[in-house]
């Protein structure tokens, strides 16, 4: 009996070790936000105004907090490198033999990942948002809330399409893994993760907001921040949907073209 007790205790402490680690890393995630917000506090103080660009200080803080929410939907860690690894190392064979759709399989997998993450992170996130409640707008009306959920789901799908395309480039280029770093850097900036895109000079901003990345993070964040009118939200949703259809089609096309190449030299 005693040895099972030991096994039980070991297993339990193992889970708890990882749990603690998860909570720690979830809170650590907010460190860069704290530093960025302190930097903006200094900027607001230096400027001596209560408004920088189109945002007040509270909204700036809210922006970075809501970026975290938008990113939990849109970010796809290891998706692109996973796909390109499957291609390079022949792991693709496993999926080709099974009666499932490869990209569909990954969408399902990612939904499961997100679900587990939401359950695990709900506590820490709720705590952080509760502590920062003075910086945030109140709960939106039910209609706006529904639209917000839709934009977040679209952010998830858009993030999936973009990362899948990068991964599928592995059919043509062997070095996708090292290209990833470059891509992440660009995405960090172009998606509005680094700072609100509205602060960019007009010329650069109009180019940046033409790209799909802004619809992955910046616009969903502005919607969460309740900075957009309903008509604008609907417009964003349509553009998001357009990008998802366009990029999804491209990913499908790359998949079928790439598979022909793969079959050709995988032999």
Which residues make up the interface to another protein (CB under 8 A)? 17-18, 21, 24-25, 28, 31-32, 34-35, 38-39, 41-47, 52-53, 175, 178-179, 181-182, 185-186, 188-189, 194-195, 199-201
Q: Which is nearer to another protein, 181 or 260 (CB)?
A: 181
Kind and range of the H or E element at 150?
A: helix 142-168
Tokens, residue 64: 């970075």
Q: Which is nearer to another protein, 108 or 199 (CB)?
A: 199
- Nearer Cβ to another protein (44/95): 44
Report, in Å, the least distance between residue 144 CB and another protein. Answer: 29
Q: Are 73 and 114 in contact (CB under 8 A)?
A: yes
In this structure, are residues 147 and 234 in contact, taking their beta carbons and an 8 Å threshold?
yes
Could you tell me which of 211, 78, 216, 225 has the C-alpha nearest to residue 153?
216
- Least distance to another protein, CB of residue 162, Å: 17
Q: Would you say the C-alpha torsion 81, 85, 88, 93 has a positive or negative sign?
A: negative
Shortest spacing between CB 43 and another protein, in angstroms: 5
Instruction: For residue 256, give both structure tokens.
Output: 């079928």
Nearer to another protein, 107 or 121 (CB): 121
Residue burial 11-37, b: 16+ Cβ < 10 Å; e: rest: eeeeeeeeeeeeeeebeebbeebeebb
> How far apart, in whole angstroms, are the C-alpha atoms of residue 6 and residue 182?
48
Write down the least CB distance from residue 174 to another protein, Å. Answer: 8
Strand partners, 55: 52
**Which residue, 18 or 118, is less far from another protein as judged by CB?**
18
If the CB atoms of residues 150 and 169 are measured against another protein, the closer one turns out to be 169
Smallest gap from Cβ 201 to another protein, in A, equals 8
Report the distance separating Cα 14 and Cα 130, nearest Å: 30
In terms of CB distance, is 53 or 242 closer to another protein?
Answer: 53
Q: How far apart are CA 155 and CA 153, in angstroms?
A: 5
CB of 52 to another protein, least distance (A): 5
23 contacts: CB under 8 Å, gap ≥ 6: 123, 124
E-strand stretches of the chain: 51-52, 55-56
Smallest gap from residue 182 Cβ to another protein (A): 4
């Amino acid at each position: 009996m005693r040895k099972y007790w030991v096994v039980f205790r070991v297993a339990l402490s193992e889970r708890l070790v990882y749990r603690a680690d998860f909570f720690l890393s979830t809170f650590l995630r907010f460190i860069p936000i704290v530093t960025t917000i302190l930097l903006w506090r200094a900027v607001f103080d230096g400027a001596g105004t209560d408004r920088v660009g189109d945002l007040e200080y509270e909204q700036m803080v809210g922006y970075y907090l809501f970026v975290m929410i938008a990113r939990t939907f849109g970010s796809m860690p290891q998706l692109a490198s996973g796909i390109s690894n499957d291609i390079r190392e022949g792991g693709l064979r496993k999926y080709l033999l099974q009666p499932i759709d490869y990209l569909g399989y990954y969408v399902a997998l990612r939904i499961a990942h997100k679900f587990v993450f939401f359950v695990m992170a709900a506590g820490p996130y709720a705590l952080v948002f509760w502590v920062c409640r003075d910086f945030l707008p109140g709960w939106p009306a039910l209609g706006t809330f529904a639209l917000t959920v839709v934009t977040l789901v679209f952010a998830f799908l858009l993030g999936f399409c973009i990362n899948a395309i990068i991964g599928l480039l592995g059919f043509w280029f062997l070095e996708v893994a090292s290209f990833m770093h470059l891509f992440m850097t660009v995405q960090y900036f172009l998606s509005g993760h680094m700072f609100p895109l509205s602060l960019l000079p007009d010329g650069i901003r109009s180019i940046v907001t033409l790209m799909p990345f802004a619809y992955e993070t910046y616009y969903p964040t502005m919607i969460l921040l309740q900075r957009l009118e309903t008509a604008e939200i609907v417009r964003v949703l349509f553009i998001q949907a357009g990008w998802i259809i366009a990029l999804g089609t491209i990913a499908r096309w790359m998949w079928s073209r790439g598979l022909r190449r793969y079959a050709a030299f995988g032999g």
